Structures are given as structure tokens and as C-alpha cells.
Structure 1
């Protein structure tokens, strides 16, 4: 759980006569993470793909293209089925022909519809212009310009032009149609030349309607029209375009229905065919990662150590003594990756040997050992690659792996911090939100994400669902302890006061003046949480460094930080600082404090006094010792010694977000229910007007009301009640959403920035075994 699953490096050596059988057997196991051969071993070449690989790959491309066109997804699969090569060959070409024809026609219709839309959009401004389209062009003695611009600017330019004698401007929407008569001496572009430099931009006339296959006219006959055969007003032009669009949309819908029928008929086959072809292609291309000679092959890779015997037995049953399986090494957990941290498995021991036979044999006319082992007897022929990482966490913890992988997959030789995230992230989140109502909603949302069938093939959503469920449960637990549901103290009133008989909930958030000590206490709690959390991080780093560099270097690197941090904070919480430190540091956990654990601070533990500097205590001496050790081991890091203060104080964001979210919920409820005050000064208590809003001086529920902070929208007329309901609902939705963006992100930040940085590097490889988990096909 703290460590990834232990992996063993395995070599499979055999005759090429049994190559395909070995591939089949290992593929069915879905266990062997194959290492690619890099060609560095003399006498061995990378293998060649099995016959039929190219054909399978081509068919796979075709199937995936058809799936994309038909929008087939996993939900369309239906029951598992057996798909044969013959069935794929017979049906695939027929489906491809039909689907491609329909899709080509759909693309043509889509393009024509797009053109129609463009023409309608271009023609609409001409409707308000009120001039038939045929009157906007084709004159011998008039020059016409159509465009958008400032009419006054255009008129001034034409009035001052000598090349134009008369003109008239028609306007509609933002389009101007300018008709001008040039003088006898004017050029053919006189109007265009005059408009240069004015606020005028030409627009094109709507293009004629033409089509190769379908016709439509305003009168409904079957004559193709264009600007030469039919004179149209802009309204007629647009109306006929809209009729054409309706026809195209109808045809487009018919094509869509045909494709939908084809999808319903072929989806199950395509999904099953894709899976079979993907399996065939994977098997056929597997030898590309093998080292081969003329007669033999070697496949090397990683498997979980606990399943080594399973691989040996499967290959023994498949090929007998025609292949040999060796467990070359069993990787231990150290970040160095040197040979001394790997447990070599000697030949002939229980960890290696022939796959079921007493000795290797010449399966193909040559000796396997002499043909395959060209390096002097060792079976290691591939790169010295690191083992892949299999995070070994139980079911409830597994969803939190996605939070670790968001930073990086753990290296095989590192501690996997997932279990720590499982224990701390939901607790941080629940502590900051702490509300029964919000917690129930988070839990329901998480349950939906985790169990919904629409996310079956999206493991990231399922993982986030599992995380949300856990965070919601902790929010419920803290909400019960705080006595709150949607910011109201109903749980405290009916459970802790009514049933249990306490005067208030076991813990409070500390918003009111009477509960201010709780707010101060949560700052102390946050600091102590930070100390514990960082201790775990540096202890992880300490043990990792012991395996990597040895005890001395580990203690200088991580032990020094542990000494500094713990020495410093014990000194802070000791009597040595009592005269200058805030009193709540020592009273929070005292017998009279809000969390009465009987702790009043550590004793001073004075060792000696330095004149002019003050007393040197044991905790302070421990801090100095840690700083000296850090300077000896990592001189550069010594300048960052204040991290023991900064990193721990960063955890006070837990208390800050707690109070901020509580204040937001309080504000929403204040606006709706109103709040009245009992007592005064530091002892003032705030109460929501759930039943009514009492008056100042009135005794209500045994308390004299001293002030009314806000009367509450619910206690007004019908209009204010309606406004209040909107405020109440939207306000709590906002608090619920900000709980994710603030409490969630702050909790993640503490994990990533403060915790991970102390020991975690990541960079592990994903375990990707050779095999396939069937979903749509079966071999039975």
C-alpha cells in the first residue's frame, strides 16, 4: 500500500516454431509488460511482425473510421459475440460502401446548406432596400455602387465631383444603393473613383440560385432560374432560398435517419470487430519488441513478482519444453536502481528455469541456450530499464491515485503517498466545510459520478466520484460535530442540546463574539496539523534516502529538517515564549480551553543562559543542531531554514477557509431568516430568526434580545419572501460550489506543495501488460 507492487524481470526464451503460441498464451494472461529490444546485442535483431499484421491494421483503421462516421460508442455494444475473420471480410466492405456513400451525400448537402445560409444572410439587407435585384446592375448610362457606409459622407463626395452629373441614393438597413449618371467625359469607373476615400465599403450582389439536381421557383414549377431567366425582388430571392433550404434539410434528415438505422444495425458488429482486430494487430506486432535469431527469440519484460508462477505454468501448458522462462531479478524498493538493490535470481533456483521441463531442449534443431545466450550466460538482453509502477492500494483508497498521478506517477522506488491523501485530503476538506447539508449533497454527487453508467468507460470521473464521496462523508461527520446543516444550528439544537443534553455542539466554528476562542483555537489546530503532516513527509524522505544514500546522508538531508521543525515548534509552544506569545496558544488545549485536553504548553527546559541573548532551551538547541547538520549535508538548503515556519503557517489556511465558508453561509441565512443578538460585548451570541424576529428587549427562548442585526426577508411581505427564496437558494448553491474551488483547491495545495515537495519526485512508468481486456467479444 505504501510501496508499489513488487515487480520481477522475466525472460522468455524459445524456438521460433512456438513463437505464435507463446504470444497467444502471454496475451491471454494480460500480465507481461514487454521491454522493447534496442538491437544492442550482437547476433540478435528485432523481430518481424507476424503475417497478417498489415491487413489487420488496415481493417482496424476502416472500422474506426466507420465508428466515427456513425458516432458509435460503447453503449451501443449489446451482448458479447464471436467475430470471425471471415465475417469481418464479408461484412466490413459492404458496410464501408454503404456508409461512405451516405456520408459523402451528407457532406454535399451540408456544404450546399452552408452556401444557402450564406446567400440568405447576404440578401437580407437588400430586402429593406426595396429595389429589385435586376435593377441593381446592367445599365449603359448609369453607374451603380452598392455597399455600407455613411450616407452624408457619400453625398458630400458626389456633390463635389465633376465627373458625375446627377445621382440618387436608396437606403435600407445599413446598405446604400447609389445610382449616378456620369458626364460625357467621365470614365467607366467614375462613381467608384469618387467613393475612394469615403466611408463606403462595397458589398456583392446576392448570387444566382443554381443546382445540379433539384429545382425550385417562386411559383412551384420545375424550372431552374438564375439572373438571366427570372427577375426577382429581394424578398422573392430570399423566399426561394428558404424553400430550397427546407428541401435540403428534409433530404439531410433522411440521410441522417439512414445513417442512424445503419448505426443501429452495425454498431455491435463494429465494436466487436474493432476489438478483435485490435487484439490481432497487437499480437501480430508483438515480435517487433523481441530479440531474435534465425531459430530462436527472447522476450523480456516485467510482471508482478507474486504472479511469476502463473506465467511459468501457462507457458508450460501451452508449449511444454519448447520455451524457457527465467526470473532474472526481483526489483527491491530503492531509488538508486543500482545492481546492489536488486535481488538477482540465480539460474536453476526456484525462481527460474524451464517452463515445465527438467532441462532446455533443441526444439528446432538448435540448442536454445547456445542460440539465445550470446552474452556469456546471462539472460538479460534488453535495456536496463526501470520496472513499471503498479500502485497497490485497496478499493476505498484507489480513487485517490488520480490525485497522485495528476502530479506524476510514483517511481517504482518511491513511497506511494496515496494512502496519506486518502487519510488527510477528505479530513482537510470536511474540516473546512463542516456542514451536514453540504456533505449530503457532495456525497450524492460523488455517488452519481462513481456509479453512473455513462462514466463506465471514463475512469477519471469514477475516481473523482470516489474522492467526492469520501470528502462528503467527512463533511457530514464534521457537520454533525459542528451541529450545522446549511449553516443553521439545527443539529446542535435537536441532537446535541435536545438529545445528548449538552449546552452546545462538541465543536464550534467561532463566528460570534461569544465563540471567538474557537476561531483562535482553530488556528492553533491548523498549525499542529501542519507539524504532523510535514513530519510524515520528512519521515518518508528519511527512509527513502536511507535506501538510496545510506543512514548518514539521509539524516543530514531529512533528519536535519525533522530536528529543526520539531525543535522550533516545541520551543514556540513552551513556557520559554509565554511572556511574548499570544495567550490562546497555551489555553486552546488547557482544561478551561475550547478543546480541554489538559495541555498548557511545554516546560521551558532551559539548559543555560547566554548573557545578552537569553536562555538556551532544549528545543532551541535541537533546532540549532538540525540547522548545523543541514549546513553540513546540504549547505545550499541551509538558507531556506525558515521553511519550517513558512510551511507550517501555510496550514492556517485550513482555519481561514473554515471561517470564510462559515461566514458565507451565515450571510445567506442572515439575509433570509434574519439574525438577532442576545447578551452584549464579548459574550454576544447570534441567533437566526427561524420562527419569528423578536424585538429588542423581548425575552425569547430564555434570552433577552439586545439587538437585531437584520430583520430577514422571510419576515416581510410576499415580494420580499420571494426575493429571499432566490437569495437563499442561489446563495447556498454558490457556497456549495465555492466549497470545491476554495476548500478543495486549498486542501490539494497543501498536499502537493507542502507535503509532496519533501520526498516525492514521481516519474514512474505505467504498467502496460501485453494483453487485452475483452468487452465486446468472446472466444467461447
Structure 2
């Protein structure tokens, strides 16, 4: 908690006759983060993969290609895990049959789609010809006559007549566009073509070499298209049937082949000699005893040894947090995986992210809807990043409901009775808000802007202070306390020195009072700030003074917590006011319109409420908070093994 799980460096050494069993044991344990052996040294060379490695890899590529064509994905409702021993002999023959059938259906679909495209092109060409008094065979097949067909806006007959008297002109129209067919002797083809091409409104149509009436031809094409569409639907249905029939096989086979490929290619990560092997890696410290017992007791001449004094700069990172805070590891790792000696901020995000989110949205109605949405996602998606985000959203929903009670808002409507312009505005409960310690609920956000703004600045100061304290700890562990003083403590001194000086000088700044320069708090703040600046310059150079204003901007940035909240509450209030005072007041059909506006307005506000508070809360974590202590750049713990979901040994 707050720190990654402790790791220990381990070397496993054994004779080559125990290599296969050792790989099996390492994979089954799923604890050993292997450090790949990449450079050949005297007496050592990179190991060779097992004989079946290429075959397993080939099967896996084939299977994933089939899954891609079928659109297969994560499975659900797996009643019983499939035995790997029973599955293994089925894979080659079943994959071959499935691949052949899938390719057959895909080839058929491509052929049908090509024919459909050809039929559609012919149909598009024939449709305009329906308006002309000619059969399809009248357009082509002549040796001494050339027929031009196309759309045109202008009257072209005079130009044609001026060139030749041996012509026939037919006209028609379709969808308001004029179409012509001009038949001329072959000797005048070039001249008539030039006349048509010089007309900017002319668009040529190339009639197909068919016979019969255009309308009848369209009917035949429509029938052919319907038949092809039915065949295409049948082929798609067959692929869906294959997907459903082989779903469990494909999921189980992919898992099995992935595992066998990992184990078959594992020797490529080992250092070997003619008689022995060596593999280097990391194991969680609290699981080393079990690891050692299993490795040494299950494969003959094999020994595991800890390297006690090994440097920790390349230690893989396994985050160690309570179950409730686990989802927030996603947000941390999205930014960067922490280093081994760094503080892991997941637990802090577990508190601050929903806190900021709830203050921003702060509405019981929206909070309930967020809770329902998160529950729906979690019920549909059982694992992965989306599931983790849904859990985070559920925490944020609870925080939103809590602050919705504090602010007394339900979809923008008051929960408790409130005073508005000297008059009591009835709330949903019809009672005055209760007193909780020194708080009189509800805290009306529009009426209490100044206190709430001050609260956001206090939150910002505390959040940044925590970041700097964590920064002092991280730098002390990494480089020593002296560096921590000139890198982080100096900023803490500048921050609180500035606060002490500004707070005591505030009356003089706001109301023109005489500044009491003898005030011990003011003097202490100035001295503390100056000492901090001196330490800052000593550690980072005079150029670092340019960064001091960013400290103030970081604190002001927390005003977004109130700003986002006011914008959300303002939109809800505007929607409610329009519906209640404008639409509902007119009665009749306007009541229905008002209900629709109410639903639409609050839906939009809810969507903005999901995105806005989430992004801005995350921004405060990443920019204002993480930059004070967090570097990241660690290597994620990736143990050699696999968590089986669909198969069992």
C-alpha cells in the first residue's frame, strides 16, 4: 500500500535434462518475471525453442485469423473448463476443417458481393434509358452507325444538324434531368463527339450490351439481385453458425496455444551451455519461499538462489493496493508505471478523484443515474479496463449523491426548502435543511460562491502540499535528503511563506487598510519564502525563479472544481426554469413539449456531467498533483505464466 510490492532478484540454475520440467513449474507458478538473456558470453548461448514451437505458433496465427474473420471475441457463460489433454489432439484437424469452411464462405461472399456490384452498375446504367423509346440492342452492335447517349442540359440538335443531316435524335428525362440518344453515321463520329464533349453539361452514359426492353431488363436484374442477396445472407448466417458452434473451441484453443507457445519459446529467454541452463528474474519477496520449494523440489538438479545485494533500478513493478483502490491503478498506469522506490498514488486517487468529481457534479439525481450506468457496465463487462472504469464511476456516483445532499439538488430542483430573494422556495421534501455540526444544509452553490471558492483553494493547497511532501520522500530515498531540500522542500517553503504573507496582507489589498509590516506572521512568511527561493536557486539555478508563478497558477487551477459545478447546476436550473415557467405554464401540448425538453436537457447535462468532472478531476491529479512528486518510468511486473479462464490441465 502506497509502495509497490517488494521484489527479490532470483537466479534459477539447473541441468538441461530438467529444463522442460522447470519451464512447466515456472509457468504454473506464474510468479517469475524473466529477464531475457540477450548477449552471448563465453560459455553461454541463447537457448533453443522446443521442437513444437513453430507448430504452435502456426496454429495460433491460423486461429487468430479465423477469429478475425468470424468477429469472435471474449466469451461468457463458459459452463465448464475444457481439459487441455483432451483439446490438444483435436486442434490440428478441427482448425483445418474450420479454416476451410470459413475461407469457403468468405470466398463465396466476395464472389456474391462482386456480382451484386456488377448488377448494381448495370442497373444504374439502364435506369435512365427507360425514358428513351429504344430497346437495349438499339444502342450497340452497329458497324456503320455510332450511338451517343448521355445527360445534357442544352439544346444540341442545331449543332448536330450543322455538321450532318444523317442523324436521329431521341430525348427523354429522368428525375428532372434531360437525356438524349444520338445516332450518326460512323464517318461523323469524331465531329459529333467533339460537339458533345465541348458542352459542359454533357455526361456520357455507356449502355450495356444487352437486349430487350430496359424496363424488363431492370426487373430481371432486380430478381437476380434479390437472389444474390439471399445467397449472401445465407453465407453470413453460416459464418454466424460457425462462430456460435466453435466459440468455446476457439477460446479454449487460443488459450491453450498461447500457453504452449509461451512454454515452447521460453528457452529463447534462457542462457544455456551444453549441459546446463541459467535464467534470471524477479519474484515477489513474500512468495519466494514457495517459489524456491516448488522449483527445487519438482525438477531434479535445479536450484533457485536469491541475489541479496542486487541493485533495484530495474525491478518490475507490481502495485499493491487494497481491493477497493485497485481500479485506480488503471489511472496511475495510464500516466506511467511508478518506479520501484516511488510512492504509488493509487490509494490517494481512491480518495481525491471521487471527492473532486462529487463536488463538481453534486446532484442526487445525476448520482443515481451514474450509479445505475456503472452497475450496467459492470454487469456486462466482467474484467478489463472498462470494468475498472465502471467501478471508478460507481465511487464517483456515491460521492455525487453525497454532495448532492450537501448542496440539496435533485436534477437541479431543490431538495430542501430554501430562501430565494427573501421568499421561501419549496423543496422536494418540503422541509428545511438540517443542521450538521456547523453546517446548515443545503449549501446553495449560487448563493455561497465566495466560501466555496475559498474551499477549492484550500483543497488545492492541501493537495499540492501532499504532493510536495511525497516528493520530499521520493527524492530523499532516491538521492538523499539534501537533494530533497533543494528540489522539493524549497517549494513547500515558498508555498507556505507566500500564503502567510498574502493572508496577512489581504485586508490592505482588498480594503485599502494600512499594511502591518510588523506582523510576525507576515514577517515569517516573507522570511520563509526568501529562504525557499535561496534553496531553489542553489538546487536548480536562477532560471528556476521563473517557475514560481506556476505554483500560484496551480492553486488557482482548483477553482475549476467550483466552476464545473456551477456550470452543471446552471444548465439544470435553466432547463427546469424553461420547462416549469414557460412550457408547463401554458398547459396543453406544451406540457408534452416541456417533458421532452426536460428529458433532453438533463440527458445532455448528464453526458457533460460524466465527461467534464472526470476529465477535470483527472487533470488536477496528473498536472497539479503528480508533477510534484511522480516521475514513473518503471517496468510493469509481467510474470512468466498464464491465468487460465477456459482450459484446465
- Give the C-alpha shift of residue 155 in structure 1: 5.1
Cα distance change of structure 1 residues 95 and 138 upon mapping to structure 2, 3 Å threshold: closer
Task: Give me the whole-angstrom Cα distance separating, in 2, the residues matched to 1:26 and 1:162.
Answer: 91
Task: Give me the whole-angstrom Cα distance separating, in 1, the residues matched to 2:105 and 2:518.
Answer: 87
The residue aligned with 1:626 is 532
Task: Give me the whole-angstrom Cα distance separating, in 2, the residues matched to 1:114 and 1:17.
Answer: 62
Aligned 8 A contact 1:129 1:170 in 2: yes
Corresponding position: 1:509 with 2:415? no
Listed one character per residue, the Cα deviations across residues 118-146 of structure 1 (whole Å, up to 9, x for unaligned) are 33233333334454322223445543222
- Give the C-alpha shift of residue 95 in structure 1: 3.0
The residue aligned with 1:261 is 241
2:566 to 659, 668, 671: 659
Listed one character per residue, the Cα deviations across residues 35-84 of structure 1 (whole Å, up to 9, x for unaligned) are 11112422211100011111111122222223333333333655211134
Listed one character per residue, the Cα deviations across residues 696-740 of structure 1 (whole Å, up to 9, x for unaligned) are xxxxxxxxxxxxxxxx32121212212211111111111111112
The residue aligned with 1:770 is 640
Query: What does residue range 327-338 of structure 1 map to in structure 2 within 5 Å?
Result: 327-329=306-308
Corresponding position: 1:581 with 2:510? yes
1:470 to 380, 384, 395: 395
- Give the C-alpha shift of residue 206 in structure 1: 4.8
Q: Report how many residues are paired.
A: 632
Task: Give me the whole-angstrom Cα distance separating, in 1, the residues matched to 2:627 and 2:9.
Answer: 31
Corresponding position: 1:278 with 2:184? no
Task: Give me the whole-angstrom Cα distance separating, in 1, the residues matched to 2:556 and 2:432.
Answer: 38
1:409 to 323, 326, 337: 337
Task: Give me the whole-angstrom Cα distance separating, in 2, the residues matched to 1:750 and 1:471.
Answer: 15
- Give the C-alpha shift of residue 94 in structure 1: 3.0
Task: Give me the whole-angstrom Cα distance separating, in 1, the residues matched to 2:375 and 2:432.
Answer: 32
Listed one character per residue, the Cα deviations across residues 621-678 of structure 1 (whole Å, up to 9, x for unaligned) are 211221121111112221111122111111111121122111111111111223xxxx
Corresponding position: 1:445 with 2:425? no
Corresponding position: 1:245 with 2:225? yes
Cα distance change of structure 1 residues 742 and 88 upon mapping to structure 2, 3 Å threshold: closer
Aligned 8 A contact 2:433 2:440 in 1: no
Listed one character per residue, the Cα deviations across residues 92-127 of structure 1 (whole Å, up to 9, x for unaligned) are 333333333333223322322233233323333333
Aligned 8 A contact 2:2 2:344 in 1: yes
1:456 to 379, 382, 392: 382
- Give the C-alpha shift of residue 507 in structure 1: 4.3
Query: What does residue range 109-508 of structure 1 map to in structure 2 within 5 Å?
Result: 109-129=112-132, 131-139=134-142, 142-152=145-155, 154=156, 158=160, 162=163, 166=167, 168-173=169-174, 174=177, 176-181=179-184, 186-207=187-208, 227=210, 231-320=211-300, 322-329=301-308, 339=311, 342=312, 386-452=314-380, 455-457=381-383, 459-491=384-416, 493=427, 497-498=431-432, 500=434, 506-508=441-443
Corresponding position: 1:569 with 2:548? no
Query: What does residue range 494-573 of structure 1 map to in structure 2 within 5 Å?
Result: 497-498=431-432, 500=434, 506-511=441-446, 515=447, 518-573=448-503
Partner SS for 1:646: helix
Deviates more, 1:16-25 or 1:255-264: 255-264
Cα distance change of structure 1 residues 162 and 99 upon mapping to structure 2, 3 Å threshold: closer
The residue aligned with 1:75 is 75
| TM-score normalised over the length of structure 2 | 0.91
1:641 to 548, 568, 571: 548
Aligned 8 A contact 1:132 1:233 in 2: yes
The residue aligned with 1:41 is 41
Task: Give me the whole-angstrom Cα distance separating, in 2, the residues matched to 1:618 and 1:175.
Answer: 91
Aligned 8 A contact 1:151 1:176 in 2: no
Task: Give me the whole-angstrom Cα distance separating, in 1, the residues matched to 2:550 and 2:194.
Answer: 74
Aligned 8 A contact 2:476 2:483 in 1: yes
Cα distance change of structure 1 residues 426 and 78 upon mapping to structure 2, 3 Å threshold: same
| Gaps in structure 2 of 5+ consecutive residues | 418-426
- Give the C-alpha shift of residue 165 in structure 1: 5.8
Query: What does residue range 8-87 of structure 1 map to in structure 2 within 5 Å?
Result: 8-75=8-75, 77-82=78-83, 83-87=86-90
The residue aligned with 1:352 is none
Task: Give me the whole-angstrom Cα distance separating, in 2, the residues matched to 1:657 and 1:70.
Answer: 45
Aligned 8 A contact 1:7 1:330 in 2: no
- Give the C-alpha shift of residue 232 in structure 1: 2.3
- Give the C-alpha shift of residue 20 in structure 1: 0.2
Listed one character per residue, the Cα deviations across residues 486-512 of structure 1 (whole Å, up to 9, x for unaligned) are 11112454669458479995242332x
Cα distance change of structure 1 residues 504 and 302 upon mapping to structure 2, 3 Å threshold: closer
Q: How well do the aligned residues superpose, as a CA RMSD in angstroms?
A: 2.7
Task: Give me the whole-angstrom Cα distance separating, in 2, the residues matched to 1:505 and 1:736.
Answer: 27
Task: Give me the whole-angstrom Cα distance separating, in 2, the residues matched to 1:96 and 1:241.
Answer: 34
- Give the C-alpha shift of residue 428 in structure 1: 0.8
Task: Give me the whole-angstrom Cα distance separating, in 2, the residues matched to 1:55 and 1:623.
Answer: 69
Cα distance change of structure 1 residues 773 and 520 upon mapping to structure 2, 3 Å threshold: same
- Give the C-alpha shift of residue 309 in structure 1: 1.1
Partner SS for 1:301: strand
Cα distance change of structure 1 residues 499 and 430 upon mapping to structure 2, 3 Å threshold: closer
Aligned 8 A contact 1:388 1:767 in 2: yes
Task: Give me the whole-angstrom Cα distance separating, in 1, the residues matched to 2:439 and 2:295.
Answer: 68
Task: Give me the whole-angstrom Cα distance separating, in 1, the residues matched to 2:502 and 2:405.
Answer: 33
Cα distance change of structure 1 residues 496 and 578 upon mapping to structure 2, 3 Å threshold: farther
- Give the C-alpha shift of residue 559 in structure 1: 0.8
Task: Give me the whole-angstrom Cα distance separating, in 1, the residues matched to 2:385 and 2:480.
Answer: 38
Cα distance change of structure 1 residues 135 and 545 upon mapping to structure 2, 3 Å threshold: same
Cα distance change of structure 1 residues 122 and 605 upon mapping to structure 2, 3 Å threshold: farther
Task: Give me the whole-angstrom Cα distance separating, in 2, the residues matched to 1:129 and 1:525.
Answer: 80
Aligned 8 A contact 2:150 2:179 in 1: yes
Aligned 8 A contact 1:496 1:504 in 2: no
The residue aligned with 2:594 is 724
Larger relative CO (CA 8 A, sep 6+): 1 or 2? 2
